[in-house]
Structure 1
Amino acid sequence: MRVQVSLRALHQFQFSYEEGDDIMRLSLRVFCFALALGVVAACSTAIAQEKNDADKLYNEGNARYKSGNYQGAIEKYTEALNIVGDYRYHYQRGLSYKNSRQYDRAVSDFEAAISLKKDFAIGFNALGGVHLLVGDYDKSIESFKLAAKNDPRLDRSRKGIGEAYAGKAQQLLDAGKFEGAGVLLDEALTEHSENAKLYLIAARVYNRLENAEKSISSAQEAIKLKKRGAMGAEYFELGIGYKKLNDFEKARAAFMEAKKDPTYSRNAQYELDGLKGR
Structure 2
Amino acid sequence: MAKLDINSKVRMNSGYEIPLLGYGVDSATAYRNEGPSAKGMLQSGLARADLFFTSKVPPRSINYADAKKCVDESLAQTGLRYIDLYLLHAPYGGKSGRLGAWRALVEAVHAGKVRSIGVSNFGVHHLDELEAWMRETEEREGEGRGGVLSVNQIELHPWLARPDIVDWCEKRGVVLEAYSPLVRSTKMDDPLLRPLAKKYNKTPAQILLRWGLQKNFVILPKSVTPSRIEENRNIYDFELSEEEMRSLHTGRYEPCTWDPTTSTD
With structure 2 as the length reference, what TM-score do the two structures score?
0.26
Q: Which has the higher helix share?
A: 1
Higher relative contact order, structure no. (Cα contacts within 8 Å, ≥ 6 residues apart)? 2
Q: Larger radius of gyration, structure 1 or 2?
A: 1
Higher strand proportion: 2
The alignment's TM-score, normalised by the length of structure 1, stands at 0.25
